[in-house]
Amino acid sequence: DTGVSQNPRHKITKRGQNVTFRCDPISEHNRLYWYRQTLGQGPEFLTYFQNEAQLEKSRLLSDRFSAERPKGSFSTLEIQRTEQGDSAMYLCASSAGHNNSPLHFGNGTRLTVT
């Protein structure tokens, strides 16, 4: 079980720059999720894919955020024109195809915008 893999683990960027994060889910999982977590809070849902289709996006996901899962395997989350408020841990999770199957999380990418 290779688990969910996220890269990079840490990213420090200057305000206004673009950043891209990658998530490799568990290979047999067709569902993939992105969450954001700030210090002392639980994860906040950002977006969800079933295979390559992006089925749901949170209102938290502004126009500067875009996520893709082009072949239904790995996913990327891009943030354009980063702002200091984007500093957070970005978590990726995957799950099997049936409802209420548990989510398996990666270790996250910690973004710091200076």
The residues that touch another protein, with contacts defined as CB under 8 A, are 4, 6, 31, 33, 40-45, 48, 55-56, 91, 93, 95, 99-108, 110
CB within 8 Å of 95: residues ≥ 6 apart: 29, 31, 33, 101, 102, 103, 104
Nearer to another protein, 9 or 81 (CB): 9
- What is the DSSP secondary structure assignment for residue 99, as one 8-state letter? T
Bridge partners of 30, per DSSP, are none
Nearer to another protein, 29 or 80 (CB): 29
> What minimum distance in Å lies between the beta carbon of 75 and another protein?
14
18 and 79 Cβ atoms separated by less than 8 Å: yes
Tokens linked to 71:
């072949």
Nearer to another protein, 52 or 80 (CB): 52
Residue 86 three-state SS: helix
> What minimum distance in Å lies between the beta carbon of 101 and another protein?
7
> What minimum distance in Å lies between the beta carbon of 14 and another protein?
23
> What minimum distance in Å lies between the beta carbon of 48 and another protein?
4
